[in-house]
Amino acid sequence: MPRKKIALIGSGQIGGTLAHLVGLKELGDVVMFDIAEGIPQGKSLDIAESSPVSGFDAKLSGTNGYEEIKDADVCIVTAGVPRKPGMSRDDLIGINLKVMDQVGAGIKKYAPNAFVICITNPLDAMVWALQKSSGLPRNMVVGMAGVLDSARFRYFLADEFNVSVEDVTAFVLGGHGDDMVPLVRYSTVAGIPLPDLVKMGWTTQAKLDAIVDRTRKGGGEIVNLLKTGSAFYAPAASAIQMAESYLKDKKRVLPCAAYLSGEYGVKDLYVGVPCVIGEKGVERVVEISLAKPEQEMFKKSVDSVQGLVEACKKVSPDLA
Ligand code: A3D
Atom of ligand 1 nearest to the CA of 144: 41
Q: Name the burial class of residue 292, with classes exposed (0-12), middle (13-18) and buried (19+) by CB atoms within 10 angstroms of its CB.
A: exposed
Query: Measured from the CB, is residue 145 less than 6 Å from ligand 1?
Result: yes
- Predicted confidence at residue 177, as pLDDT, reads 80
Domain limits of the chain?
Answer: 5-144, 146-311
Atom of ligand 1 nearest to the CA of 36: 11
Give mean pLDDT, residues 22-31: 98
**Ramachandran sector of residue 80 (left: φ over 0; alpha: ψ -120 to 50; beta: rest):** left
**Mutation choice for ligand 1 from 34, 83, 110, 308, CB with most ligand atoms inside 8 A:** 34
Q: Which ranges of 136-202 would DSSP assign to H, the alpha helix?
A: 146-161, 194-199
pLDDT digits (tens, 9 = 90+) for 248-289: 999 999 999 999 999 999 999 999 999 999 999 999 999 999
79 closest CA partner among 106, 59, 43: 106
pLDDT of residue 218 exceeding 80: yes
Protein fold of 5-144: Rossmann fold (3.40.50)
83 closest CA partner among 129, 121, 35, 123: 121
| CATH placement of domain 146-311 | 3.90.110.10
**Mutation choice for ligand 1 from 11, 33, 69, 78, CB with most ligand atoms inside 8 A:** 78
Catalytic one among 151, 176, 254, 270? 176
pLDDT of residue 103 exceeding 80: yes
For residue 176, indicate whether it is catalytic: yes
pLDDT digits (tens, 9 = 90+) for 125-169: 999 999 999 999 999 999 999 999 999 999 999 999 999 999 999
Residue 239 neighbours by CB under 8 Å, 6+ apart = 14, 18, 76, 117, 119, 144, 147
- Predicted confidence at residue 91, as pLDDT, reads 84
How many whole angstroms separate alpha carbon 234 and alpha carbon 149? 9
pLDDT of residue 195 exceeding 90: yes
Residue 56: band (very low, low, confident or very high) from pLDDT cuts 50, 70, 90: very high
More confident residue, 88 or 70: 70
- Predicted confidence at residue 87, as pLDDT, reads 81
Identical fold between 5-144 and 146-311: no
The complex scores an ipTM of 0.99
